[in-house]
Amino acid sequence: MANQHANLLTAIDVGSAKACVLVAEITPNGLRYRGHGVTESRGSRKGIIVDLEKAASSIQKAVEQAEDVAGIPIERALLGMGGAHIRGVNSHGGITFGTRVREIGRDEIRSAVDKARAIALPADREILHLLPQEFILDDQPGIHDPLGMMACRVAVRVHIVTAVSSALQNVVSAVNRAGVHVDDTVFEPLACADAVLRADERELGVCLADLGAGSTNLIVFQEGAVAHSAGIPIGGDHFTSDLSVGLCTPIVEAERIKKFYGNAIVTLIPEGNEVEVPSVGDRPSRLLSQRTVGEILEPRARELFELLRDNLRQSGMLELCVGGLVLSGGASRLPGILDIADSVLRRSVRLSWPTPLAKMPASLAEPEYATALGMVFYAHRARLARGSQDERWSSKLKAMLVG
Ligand SMILES: Nc1ncnc2c1ncn2[C@@H]1O[C@H](COP(=O)(O)OP(=O)(O)OP(=O)(O)O)[C@@H](O)[C@H]1O
Ligand SMILES: [Mg+2]
């Protein structure tokens, strides 16, 4: 009997602020929302599990919520990976068959990719993704799918995303403890791209930056392929703790003030506006100028985008991002963030509004759920790639190498 859950896809995004579980169903008309659960994340900071029990219990609560809405048990899922520890590197390699041309089959492609992936990796890191960019047959670059073509030499350029092994394994353990088997892991912005980037942006060159709570992760696409990936150790929590220290107010109040009165550009806040700021201890609350809030947030926002700009510049990507910058993640909701990003990077910047699933609650159509949504689209694509013969070369190759 066919498994009644065979058409369901589950994504788990364990963030620093929230754990989110999303279930989608594959229908003839595309993906349909089946259920989701969101809990405040515990035991996870900056993409790293700091308390396994707490992390597992908040994941489990989110899983239970999603199970209740979807009306099915969740046994397996695609797990998102992020954090400042993520690094990307480009590599290439190839093999020569001699002077006679031969037909390129899966074995030849696999051998070329094996050469390209043979990079010296620090002992504490492992490969999260091996993403082909292009194949070069003899001296002919820009080949997308070499399968069945003739050549004396096949080479490949790949982008390799690496993660700190312990960080990766601890998130998997937390999800396992929550009673869910991890089918596969995905670098979050790679999946997020499926929900927020347009094909023309990927071709032209675009950077997608996920501004989370603990860190910012980014990915760059160029000519349709992944050209760069990285993690930056600043996220929305840093904005909140700056406010907490600067205004001498508890973290929860700083978080509330950031969301209601925050702006990344001081001059966008009307002069004369005032904000009531609770104090710590038994001291009475104070009335402060709203611009004080902006004066604390603006330097942090500037620092974040300067780090992003320097990261793109050092990897030679800044000039390639002709299609601009796309921001996702909860911290991208801070008013003024587009203006500050534009002033530091001098690129067109837009917010991401994730492609919705059919029947999805409106509350999920927000930048902080773009990753979870992208993950179900990604999981669907990966499933199609495993099952189909006429998928694009990159998906086919991923299925070939991974599955
Ligand atoms: N309106 C808002 N203005 C400013 N910041 C906001 C707003 N809404 C949410 N945030 C911030 O977004 C962050 C949470 O974003 P998100 O849910 O994407 O993080 P996460 O995925 O849990 O974390 P990470 O990806 O870093 O592991 C928090 O720091 C929160 O303060
Ligand atoms: Mg996140």
Note the pLDDT tens digit of each residue in 184-203: 999 999 999 999 999 999 99
Whole-number pLDDT of residue 45:
77
Mean pLDDT of 96-115: 91
Cα 15 to averaged position of ligand 2 atoms, centre (Å): 5
- pLDDT score of 400 more than 60: no
**Interval 305-327: pLDDT, tens:** 999 999 999 999 999 999 999 99
Atom of ligand 1 nearest to the CA of 368: 18
Whole-number pLDDT of residue 319:
95
Ligand nearest to the CA of 215: 1
**Interval 132-141: pLDDT, tens:** 999 999 989 9
Length of the chain: 403
Atom of ligand 1 nearest to the CA of 255: 31
- pLDDT score of 397 more than 80: no
3-state secondary structure of 164: strand
Cα 83 to averaged position of ligand 2 atoms, centre (Å): 8
What are the two backbone dihedrals, phi and then psi, of residue 87, each rounded to the nearest 5 degrees? -135, 150
Q: What whole-number distance in Å separates Cα of residue 196 and Cα of residue 198?
A: 7
Cα 82 to averaged position of ligand 2 atoms, centre (Å): 7
What are the two backbone dihedrals, phi and then psi, of residue 117, each rounded to the nearest 5 degrees? -85, -5
**Interval 239-285: pLDDT, tens:** 999 999 999 999 999 999 999 999 999 999 999 999 999 999 989 99
**Interval 66-78: pLDDT, tens:** 999 999 999 999 9
Domains of the chain: 87-165 (3.30.1490.110)
Whole-number pLDDT of residue 5:
74
Name the band, by pLDDT with cuts 50, 70 and 90, for residue 388: low
Mean pLDDT of 11-28: 96
State if residue 255 touches ligand 1 by the CB under 6 angstroms criterion. Answer: yes
State if residue 259 touches ligand 1 by the CB under 6 angstroms criterion. Answer: yes
Give, for ligand 1, the residue of 259, 268, 328 to mutate: max count of ligand atoms closer than 8 Å to Cβ.
Answer: 259
Q: What whole-number distance in Å separates Cα of residue 55 and Cα of residue 289?
A: 38
Atom of ligand 1 nearest to the CA of 237: 29
Here the tokens at position 17 are 């602020």
- pLDDT score of 396 more than 80: no
- pLDDT score of 367 more than 90: yes
State if residue 93 touches ligand 1 by the CB under 6 angstroms criterion. Answer: no
370-to-57, 98, 139, 192, 229 alpha-carbon distances in Å: 23, 48, 40, 6, 18
Here the tokens at position 298 are 């603006």
Here the tokens at position 364 are 């999920």
Whole-number pLDDT of residue 343:
96
Give, for ligand 1, the residue of 12, 13, 16, 208 to mutate: max count of ligand atoms closer than 8 Å to Cβ.
Answer: 16
State if residue 88 touches ligand 1 by the CB under 6 angstroms criterion. Answer: no
